[in-house]
Structure 1
Amino acid sequence: MFIALGGMSVHVQVAGPPGAPPVLLLHSLGTSLHVWDEQAEVLARTHRVIRFDLRGHGLTSAVPGEATMAALAEDAFALLDHLGIRAAHLGGISIGGRIAMEMAASRPERVLSLFLLDTAMEFPPPEGWQQRIEAIASGGMAAVADGVMARWVADQSLPSSRALRAMLLATPAEGYSACAAALRDARAASLAGRMQGPATVVVGELDQASPVSAAEAIREAIPGSRLIVLPGVAHIPTFEAAEAVTEALLAHLSPSPEEDAFAAGMAVRKAVLGEEHVARASAGITALDAAFQDYITRNVWGGIWTRPGLPRHTRSLLTLAITAALAREGEFALHVRATRNTGVLPEEIAEVLLQVGAYAGVPVANHALKVAKGILSEGEERR
């Protein structure tokens, strides 16, 4: 079907039982929604599968000028709004994965999980993208086809590889270049500390465009995420390694709750409190507190801090306010120290404690200020 969004005519396909968990699949640069055909067919048995052609790709009309990651993410949110879907699981290949991460960073409450396939938080060097844009401007898509295909697949003789080449050559130059500009300008720093799990990161062993190191960086950036490396495949594995990608996607959408909660909780705990603190706490566990440590890892760190409804920065501020108001000095001090990891600024702590003073009383706020000043001055001395 076609829908009108923001001046575009957007080509959309929706399959699967109405009311089933929604999954939005985002394709790669220079392809179309059909790059997910193999996976969508299987997934539609249990999920509501939504796919669309990105602006200037497939059958979706182009938008004049260069695109940005923020604009591409807004396209996807507008589609979900049109379909009446508040939140969805997101899957993306290459630029599709980067768009999914942009969505998760900007509106985490609308993202149920991330399945990130052969993508990166940034795709250096910027000048390489500019050279590709200029080559297309003078020679069309044929000017870059050979180089792109060499990075996309390990075996270009396969029928599926020839289909990918046909998709690439059929992509309007205007649409390809507009989205290439978004990749040129994308930076990892804009995502730092803003993404939450659950997430599965999958990468082809032979991927040159977004190598294993880029996938490892994503895993480190998203607490509780896991990494899968597919042997013998390159940048676009949905056809070349269709069964492996489908298996990974199905496993991602049905993880073991027990294992997932503990692993996610431990990852967030380390990210917020620091590896050294968690290592010390773990080393000190005895029979007396072992069950309690397991409980807070699964249910507090894994069950609450990983929820998509609030950014980690906001959860940090709330924890500071609550522990200060309740005069929980030990926990308050712990979370003041954690602000070096959550991104909360001293000025924001001051604002929180003003609020605490107004609603919980001057004495608790005043004591919390003394504790915070001591801890923050220690940090200044270390620097």
Structure 2
Amino acid sequence: MSLVANPRELTAVSADGSPIHVEVYGPEGAPAVVLAHGWTCSIAFWAEQIRALSTEHRVIAYDQRGHGRTPGVGRPGHSTRALADDLEAVLAAALAPGEKAVLAGHSMGGMTLMAAAGRPGFREHAAAALLCSTGPGRLTAESLVVPLRPGGLRTRLTRGILGARAPLGPVTPVSRKILKYATMGPGTAPERVDTCARIVHACPRAARVAWSHVLAELDLDAGVRELSLPVAVLVGTADRMTPPVHARELARALPRCVGLVELAGMGHMTPVEAPEAVTAQIRQLAVTYLGVKEDA
């Protein structure tokens, strides 16, 4: 899954001075969509959505700090505040003053939207949002990666696995099987597993470990309540990382939930596992809240 050729590249500067790598695809002046990827991923994770949407939309995607082409930072630079700062910087750099966009966040990208919900820059630019395979907290307690009954042991083991400092190393048949079990549905096509494995294994160890500690302590319930714009929620029924319990709780807690979609048999990596379904949700939000024509 290669990206559309020749994006326009920008560098957004976050509140602490960190540079954030941004890529813009599609026609200048077209209705805007902003994509925020998840933990251990990169812009490349959104390749199918960029390809499908950039014919009629201006698609803005960025690498979270320490991922892809955005440089890493020291441990103090990893926090939900930093996630929100970086998103605000991207919106300011890529959108005109007052310009509205549909924002889509997968996993940690969805948490980014929750963290930024009360920010002036977010409210200035966000018309609607998609929370994709994500949750606001209790991530290690609710995770199903470790096949044990809920409780303290499972939570501790999950925390240890997700925060492991060991390098992932090259992609191998064994590492693909582990990744598929933990993050993808049982019926996921081998080529899509390969795509995710290449992206995840490319994430620097320091960023992976630092962000795992942030996610383990996550508490964004207040941010969910501040998401007063229209929000759709999407999850795979076989998601072990952020199981459907999170999506259902989000749907109940959001002030303006406009839909909950549960994709049968899909795991955590829904933009890669079910690209058409994720793209369709983003496109529908653009039709409804940006005035994009139905045949776009």
Q: Could you say which residue in structure 2 is the equivalent of 1:5?
A: 13
- Which structure carries more strand by proportion? 2
Relative distance call for 1:222 and 1:253 in structure 2 (3 A) is same
Kindly provide the amino acid, as one letter, of the partner of residue 240 in structure 2: Q
Q: Could you say which residue in structure 2 is the equivalent of 1:112?
A: 127
Counterparts of 1:106 and 1:256, CA distance in 2: 20
Give yes or no for the alignment of 1:191 onto 2:202: no
Counterparts of 1:234 and 1:13, CA distance in 2: 27
Alignment partner for residue 81 of structure 2, among 70, 73, 86? 70
Relative distance call for 1:110 and 1:96 in structure 2 (3 A) is same
Deviation at 1:142, TM superposition (A): 4.5
Counterparts of 2:224 and 2:69, CA distance in 1: 34
Deviation at 1:30, TM superposition (A): 1.0
Kindly provide the amino acid, as one letter, of the partner of residue 96 in structure 1: G
Counterparts of 2:102 and 2:240, CA distance in 1: 27
Counterparts of 2:94 and 2:277, CA distance in 1: 30
Relative distance call for 1:195 and 1:127 in structure 2 (3 A) is farther
Alignment partner for residue 282 of structure 2, among 249, 258, 273? 249
Q: Could you say which residue in structure 1 is the equivalent of 2:243?
A: 211
Give yes or no for the alignment of 1:238 onto 2:267: no
Q: Could you say which residue in structure 2 is the equivalent of 1:29?
A: 39
- Matched residue SS, 2:196: helix
Q: How do 1:119-268 residues align onto structure 2 when only pairs under 5 Å count?
A: 119-122=134-137, 123-125=139-141, 127=156, 130-132=159-161, 134-136=163-165, 139-142=166-169, 147-154=178-185, 155=187, 158-225=190-257, 226-255=259-288
Deviation at 1:230, TM superposition (A): 0.9
Q: Could you say which residue in structure 2 is the equivalent of 1:57?
A: 67
Matched residue pairs, number? Answer: 255
- Matched residue SS, 1:186: coil
Q: Is residue 239–residue 268 contact of structure 2 (8 Å, CA) maintained in 1? A: yes
* Cα deviation code 1:143-172 (max 9, x no counterpart): 995644322212465112111111111110
Counterparts of 2:249 and 2:116, CA distance in 1: 18
Q: Is residue 56–residue 172 contact of structure 1 (8 Å, CA) maintained in 2? A: yes
Q: TM-score, normalised by structure 1?
A: 0.61
Q: TM-score, normalised by structure 2?
A: 0.78
Counterparts of 1:65 and 1:129, CA distance in 2: 21
Q: Could you say which residue in structure 2 is the equivalent of 1:309?
A: none
- Matched residue SS, 1:253: helix
Counterparts of 1:203 and 1:4, CA distance in 2: 30
- Matched residue SS, 1:201: strand
Kindly provide the amino acid, as one letter, of the partner of residue 62 in structure 1: G
Counterparts of 2:23 and 2:289, CA distance in 1: 30
Kindly provide the amino acid, as one letter, of the partner of residue 66 in structure 2: G
Counterparts of 2:224 and 2:193, CA distance in 1: 35
Give yes or no for the alignment of 1:92 onto 2:100: no
Q: Could you say which residue in structure 1 is the equivalent of 2:52?
A: 42
Deviation at 1:104, TM superposition (A): 2.0
* Cα deviation code 1:31-72 (max 9, x no counterpart): 111111111112112221100111111121101115111111
Deviation at 1:82, TM superposition (A): 2.1
Q: Is residue 12–residue 90 contact of structure 2 (8 Å, CA) maintained in 1? A: no
Q: Is residue 26–residue 57 contact of structure 2 (8 Å, CA) maintained in 1? A: yes
**Further displaced range: 152-161 or 173-182:** 152-161
Counterparts of 2:163 and 2:260, CA distance in 1: 35
Which segments of 5 or more consecutive residues in structure 2 lack a partner in the other structure? Answer: 1-8, 142-154, 291-296
Q: Is residue 69–residue 99 contact of structure 1 (8 Å, CA) maintained in 2? A: yes
Q: Is residue 129–residue 180 contact of structure 1 (8 Å, CA) maintained in 2? A: no
- Which structure carries more helix by proportion? 1
Relative distance call for 1:111 and 1:211 in structure 2 (3 A) is same
Kindly provide the amino acid, as one letter, of the partner of residue 168 in structure 1: V
Counterparts of 1:129 and 1:70, CA distance in 2: 24
Which segments of 5 or more consecutive residues in structure 1 lack a partner in the other structure? Answer: 258-383
Q: Which has the higher contact order (CA 8 A, sep 6+)?
A: 2
The structure with the largest alpha-carbon Rg is 1
Counterparts of 1:192 and 1:3, CA distance in 2: 28
Counterparts of 1:250 and 1:176, CA distance in 2: 31
- Identical columns (%): 28
